[in-house]
Homo-oligomer: A and B are copies of this chain.
Amino acid sequence: MKAGGKRDLVSIDDLSSDEIRELFRRADEFRADLRAWTHVCRGSIMATLFLEASTRTRLSFESAMLRLGGGVITAADVTTTSFSKGESLADTVRVVGGSYADIVVIRHPQDGAARVAAQYASVPVVNGGDGSHEHPTQTLCDLYTLWREKGQIEGLDVVLCGDLRYSRTIHSFAYALARFRANIITVPYPGFEMPAHVIERLARDFGVSTSIASVRDLPGFAGNDKGAAYLTSSRPHQLALFTKLSEVDVDHIDAIYMTRAQRERHHGETIEGYPRIDREMLKSERMRDVRLMHPLPRVDEIDYELDDDPRAIYFRQAAFGVPMRMALMAFLLGAIELDARPPEHVSSEPGLRFPVGGPRCRNDRCVTNGEGRSYLPLDFRLVAEEPPRVGCAYCSAEIETRFVGSATSHCFHAWNAPPVRRIRPENRVYFESAEQARAAGFQEDAELAGS
């Protein structure tokens, strides 16, 4: 399904760290004079397929493409049904990516939908936000902002503040910070702590370890709050010495990333006393070089009086989105080339293809349980071994499995039974229960023996 050399941005992991750094430098060139680049992508067309409203993100992409001299066709604020009269997303992107557009930006309410688009479109696909899964260009712009403001990302102390539970932006940014070896201080609004699965993934994928953080001078919503945590990479780098400490005293903050309460994803939680940053809070010495970031829209989390403070960079952060997206689009369209190597794996590669009857993704909002239910193959990746856990290749939601079968012999075993080791990894099929394995046409070893 995937065309030869095309590159997509479904996940931030579809770019190598070196590519990201190189794109930052390209973005800097574009930023220097935004009106000077209309020759770069002349003749190319971007389609913005926004099956969920997000005017701001859409306008940022469209501005980037126009500034590169390309054309834009837009299907915005359309619902799945009105757009497609029952058509699958796979068909839609094959049509739009067929001759209408040379690159497709998709926003979709279902988790994992961007991967579907990338698999079926013959042109590059950019994820403009798929459900509560990923929004990689937001993360790219946030990283670029931090890099531009501080000259580097490694070793920075970054506070993530507010609704850490429901904010997709915060989760993605946390992974990216860990990948670039910044330290994270979580300062959640009580009840909206960073979810365990995010902490686990930070530990598993990036070797991040957690300490209790003591953050003075964030009065009113931090201080001795038991929710505050210090997350730092255990790989050797300048702050590794802190990782053994049970409590980290944060005496310097490089950036605060504030986020609004994601009310549209709440279930009746109160947000009374939600943190709010004002001038007073930035008076402390350890805030002297802080950069105050916010993905916007802000509701009431940052006092208007801070807007003129040079440390308040949220509007600059939004402005950086255009040159950053210009660099990305120009790269994906082949208008600029990077010296850096691509990542070894990209998210649209097929993973473990499970048989019908085998495990399905349990995330209700996953595209495999949504509009792709009738045509998408079941596709997982192995994320942990003992016991085996598989993650949906579309939405990343994980399932713990207990049984392992062989795709060649069609027999299965408990995951820790010795015969499992004799099944080649590429032939292993994972099941949550013996019933599920049997439903998929596999037989237990004992049954085989007895037959």
Where the two chains meet, the residues of A that have a C-beta atom closer than 8 Å to any C-beta of B are 31, 34-38, 42-45, 47, 53, 55-56, 59-60, 62-63, 66-67, 71-75, 77-78, 82-87, 90-92, 94-96, 98-102, 260, 264, 296-299, 304, 315-316, 318-323, 375
Contact = CB atoms under 8 A, between A and B. Distances in A.
9 contacts: A55-B82, A63-B99, A63-B100, A77-B82, A85-B264, A91-B296, A98-B318, A99-B322, A100-B322
Contacts of A298: 87, 91
Contact of A87 (B38, B66, B299): B299
A322 B63 CA distance: 23
Contact of A71 (B60, B67, B320): B67
A101 B375 contact: no
Nearest to A62: B73
State the majority secondary structure of interface residues on A.
helix
Nearest to A35: B43
Given A59-B75, A66-B72, A99-B319, 4 more contacts: A35-B102, A74-B74, A85-B260, A87-B297
A269 to B, nearest CB: 17
A239 to B, nearest CB: 33
B94 A315 contact: yes
Which of the listed residues A90, A92, A95, A296 has the most CB atoms from chain B within 10 Å of its own CB? A95
Nearest to A95: B318
Contacts of A84: 297
B96 A59 contact: yes
Nearest to A67: B45
Contacts of A316: 98
A298 B53 CA distance: 25
Contact of A73 (B43, B63, B86): B63
Contacts of A101: 59, 63
B297 A85 contact: yes
A322 to B, nearest CB: 4
Contacts of A42: 38
A264 to B, nearest CB: 8
B75 A53 contact: no
Given A100-B322, A297-B87, A44 B35 contact: yes
Contacts of A45: 63, 66-67
A43 B84 CA distance: 32
Which of the listed residues A44, A83, A91, A298 has the most CB atoms from chain B within 10 Å of its own CB? A91
Which of the listed residues A84, A91, A99, A101 has the most CB atoms from chain B within 10 Å of its own CB? A99
A197 to B, nearest CB: 26
Contacts of A319: 95, 98-99
Contact of A99 (B34, B43, B77): B34
A182 to B, nearest CB: 25
Nearest to A262: B85
Given A43-B36, A55-B75, A98 B297 contact: no
A319 B264 CA distance: 38
